[in-house]
Amino acid sequence: MTAWPAHPDVTHFSFLGSEDQLACPCCLCFTPTPKALDLLRIVEDLRVWWRAPIVLTSMTRCPEHNVEVDGKARSSHLITLAASRSGVDLVPSLQSPQIPARSLIPLAIERLAVRALRTPGVTGIGIYDDYLHLDNRPPKNSGRHYLWEDRTTFAQVDFLRRLRDYERNQ
Ligand SMILES: [Zn+2]
Ligand SMILES: [Zn+2]
């Protein structure tokens, strides 16, 4: 097993001995490409701003594991695309001072999504019921983000449209 090389910019997440899934869970593949490190720096900045734990539930996937978890064909989690992009799924703790006490996970995910939208280097944001997906795939020519939502249990009120408004008004 390869250890994640200690990096002064990434102190809250580690390859070994933590719940963070930087490597593929089935084969432990992981390559510390510049894109992967860039994304981890971004997540580190979000973690510092959040002032509460954030758990990375999926980062690298081999093609077989990506199929197993119904990942998209060109998912930014794929190790085969690691030279050009990296993707991560994360679950924020509800103990953050950035959300009101007793908030539920959908609100925490929305708060983090808005913050991520304003963070340089993030180009893809996916909103799910119980986690947030972020990636740094090559940007669109328009400079706009890849934004999508796949929520089933939370009656969202035009959250994607709100994100687009934030994007326009940056
Ligand atoms: Zn694997
Ligand atoms: Zn993802």
- Ligand 1 ion: nearby residues, β-carbon < 5 Å: 24, 26-27, 62, 65
Mean pLDDT of 44-57: 96
| Nearest alpha carbon to residue 145 among 82, 95, 76 | 76
Of the bound ligands, which one is closest to the alpha carbon of residue 133? 2
Average pLDDT over all residues of the chain: 90
* Structural domain spans, the chain: 34-168
Q: Which of 11-20, 122-131, 156-165 has the highest mean pLDDT?
A: 122-131
Of the bound ligands, which one is closest to the alpha carbon of residue 71? 2
**Tokens matching residue 67:** 């199929």
149: Cα separation from own chain's centroid: 14
- The CATH architecture one would assign to domain 34-168 is 2-Layer Sandwich (3.30)
Kindly give the interhelix angle for 34-50 and 105-117, rounded to the nearest 10 degrees: 120
- Ligand 2 ion: nearby residues, β-carbon < 5 Å: 87, 89, 133
Q: What are phi and psi of 42, to 5 degrees?
A: -65, -45
**2-8: long-range contacts at Cβ-Cβ below 8 A with a sequence spacing of 24 or more?**
2/28, 2/30, 4/30, 4/32, 5/32, 7/37, 7/40
Predicted confidence (pLDDT) per residue in 55-76, tens digit:
999 999 999 999 999 999 999 9
Distance 62 CA to ligand 1 centre (A): 4
Distance 131 CA to ligand 2 centre (A): 9
Distance 70 CA to ligand 1 centre (A): 13
Predicted confidence (pLDDT) per residue in 133-160, tens digit:
999 999 999 999 999 998 887 656 678 8
Distance, in Å, from the CA atom of 155 to the CA atom of 44, rounded to the nearest integer, reads: 30
Distance 24 CA to ligand 1 centre (A): 5
